[in-house]
Amino acid sequence: MTTPNSPSPLRLPLEFNTEEYLNVVDHGVLFVDAQGILRYYNPFCQKLFALEYPSHQPINYFHLLSSWSDSQGLSRLWLIEFDAAMTAQQRHYTRVKHNDDTLEFKHQPLPSGGFVHCIYNITRKAKQEQISALHYSQLQTMIDAMPCFVSLLNTNLQFVIANQYYEQHLGISRSDIEGSYVSDILPPSLKERHMNLLHKALHGETQHFDDQGPSEESPIKFVHGAYIPCFDQHHNVTGIVDITYDTTDQKNQEENLRILAERDPLTGLFNRRKVMECLDLEILRANRQSSPLSVAVLDLDYFKNVNDTWGHAAGDLVLKEFALLCQQQIRKLDYLGRIGGEEFFLIMGNTDQQEASIVLERILSVLRHHTFKWQQIEIHITCSAGFVQWEPTQSNQQLYSLADNALYQAKNQGRDQIVIAT
């Protein structure tokens, strides 16, 4: 570092022959004065424009370009733009085709009023740009064909590329999305969670997510996706690829399969397997909380006569309506299942023997006064029930057996009644 009193650093003399350098460079260099007269051109320009060196007559550079452009069959538009740039003393860049080559003309104004013109052969660069453009077009075609959201984000979390799926399902044009920030596109309900995931992806961690759709109005209700970081050769994150699938149909299918696995297809009640799982949970709860638990088995009386007299369609109607009647008499926290034929199983948590008797009496009473209407026929039917209050030593199978035995006692004692298991 120098101080105010220290001597200036010595500068070695530099011997540099400018013309010698310009004669060997692999691009064209020429100087034009304020009047547009060509004052210097190197061998590249001499060969390109077929000039003599030195020239015997002053050469107007613009006229030279006009003649050369016409001989090459080029549009004069680039000359008009170039002339306007010269007149306005502005920098100007343009590309022209010369035989099989691509030339780039760079015009740089000088303080004296003239300008320097450099001419580069950028054929390889242009071809590489064409290849890159083709690859980009192919990439765009590929991601547009994908049935999901696909995008590339930069490290500022701006969209660089977005496929047509965004436009089709969000109603936002690609031109509006590309360049926008993710925070401007994400729905408010998802913004905080997904911005956290994106910042983790910026630290190099792939983030998977399952979430709700973009809006209540959208047919897309569920999505599954991933934020995948992109790396350079030094393992620095250079961007994030976002791939997000619409999983609404899959979720609906899973829900339908779950319902098929857990529900009785006729009544919509829990099936035998599911209602027994519920009983296991209620036994655990009753044991943990030292609370009462009652279970009952209900069976329609003489139900076979309904099927034999009016057919199975009439029997199905009776079963479905009976299921609804029972659901109307029990609490939402109780479990009701169809365990076979006309037999039903009721689980009443936090319910003792006296409370369970009241619920079952209500069900039987409602059924006695209910009329099942099948076409023009009125059907009346009753129900028998057996129930038991759980004791801490009893398993689910023991409870069911006790309630089922009580049911058979009710049947043997004349039906349309309740028997408590002892």
Which tokens sit at 387?
């129930």
Distance CA 357, CA 385 (A): 10
What does the pLDDT look like over 129-171, one tens digit per residue?
Answer: 888 888 888 888 889 999 999 999 999 999 999 999 988 888 8
Give the closest residue to 163 by CA, choosing from 98, 245, 87: 245
What does the pLDDT look like over 200-248, one tens digit per residue?
Answer: 999 999 999 999 887 777 888 999 999 999 999 999 999 999 999 999 9
Evaluate the CA torsion angle 406, 411, 412, 416 in order and state its sign.
positive
Angle (CA) 148 154 160, round 5°? 55
Band of residue 303 on the pLDDT scale cut at 50, 70, 90? very high
Distance CA 411, CA 415 (A): 4
Is 15 a residue whose pLDDT tops 80? Answer: no
**Does residue 147 contact residue 176 with C-beta atoms inside 8 Å?**
no
Band of residue 86 on the pLDDT scale cut at 50, 70, 90? confident
What are the residue numbers of the active site? 342
Q: What number of CA atoms fall less than 13 Å from residue 52's CA on the CB side? A: 6
**What is the enclosing helix (H) or strand (E) of 36?**
none
Burial class from Cβ neighbours inside 10 Å (0-12, 13-18, 19+) for residue 218 reads middle
What does the pLDDT look like over 173-201, one tens digit per residue?
Answer: 888 999 999 999 888 888 899 999 999 99
Burial class from Cβ neighbours inside 10 Å (0-12, 13-18, 19+) for residue 192 reads exposed
Distance CA 72, CA 101 (A): 12
Give the closest residue to 100 by CA, choosing from 63, 133, 75, 126: 126
